[in-house]
Amino acid sequence: MKTSHPIRTAKPPWLRRKLPSGPDYEKIRSMIDKGQLHTVCQEANCPNQFECFSAHTATFLIMGATCTRNCRFCNIDGGRPGPLDPDEPRRVAGAAARMELRYVVVTSVTRDDLDDGGASHFAATIAALQEQIEGVQIEVLIPDFQGSRNALETVLAARPEVLNHNMETVRRLYDTVRPQAGYDRSLELLARVPRITPHIPAKSGIMLGLGETEAEVRQVIRDVRRTGCRMLTIGQYLQPTAEHLPVVEFIPPEDFDRWRQFALAEGFAKVAAGPFVRSSYHAGSMFRGE
């Protein structure tokens, strides 16, 4: 893992797999389409969407499909988003109920155009899920809300089971990968979670393969752990389109195993690491320790 590695485009054998399909996949896709909903699985072109849909799971993307930021790794369109749909929380909860979900992951585009960054919309969605699905467990994957403590408190007050915010990459690459975000801002958000609500675990995720060094990966893992964050995901960056940042290196599965052991040794309670791991991949199983 060195920055001098040449840019690679051909996927290695461990990143090639048959995509599952069938009636369960089509059923979930149809429910999402009919409900006029969005999932990060589809919008971000996640490599796991066939597997997750076939297993009756999905990560709901709220507040539209247009982001106010233009991160160079992400396949979600940037631009000027439309107004919030006040009925969306109810429709998300209804779809989750029809899918018979017991663990629901909700994320969003970044909405820097909104006074609270969309925090109240997250809270409304959590409330709708709790109302419609008895015993539901909810994980929210939130943007940085431009560092607003009040916005974070609004989401935490709605009582999700897990508060997830991704670091994505190492400090040196932030200006390239996430030019409108801030490394220290994201660390501070994660640090606030246990200070505000010690009973709600914080979770974060990073991508590898963008040219980071081993020393930088060790540092970001340690930085995230020092915030009190308890859960971590580590996955392979994959270039969504030719317009996005290229893959510098494909990390072999044994290296992900090594990073998982390193993160556990640093004190994380739960770590998922692998080429296909994403922040919400098997999220329910990770939360339950399965």
Q: Give CA–CA dist 31/259, Å, rounded.
A: 37
Percent of the chain with pLDDT over 70: 82
Query: Topology of domain 23-288, per CATH?
Result: TIM Barrel (3.20.20)
Give pLDDT tens digits for 73-86.
Answer: 787 788 999 999 99
**Domain assignments of the chain as residue spans, ordered by start:** 23-288
**Is 46 part of any known ligand binding site?**
yes
Whole-model pTM: value is: 0.86
Give pLDDT tens digits for 165-223.
Answer: 999 999 999 999 999 999 999 999 999 999 999 999 999 999 999 999 999 999 999 99
For residue 56, is pLDDT > 60? Answer: no
**Is 229 part of any known ligand binding site?**
no
Quick one: pLDDT band at residue 36, thresholds 50, 70, 90?
low
Among residues 159, 150, 180, 156, the alpha carbon closest in space to that of 168 is found at 180
**Is 41 part of any known ligand binding site?**
yes
Q: How much is the pLDDT for 73?
A: 79
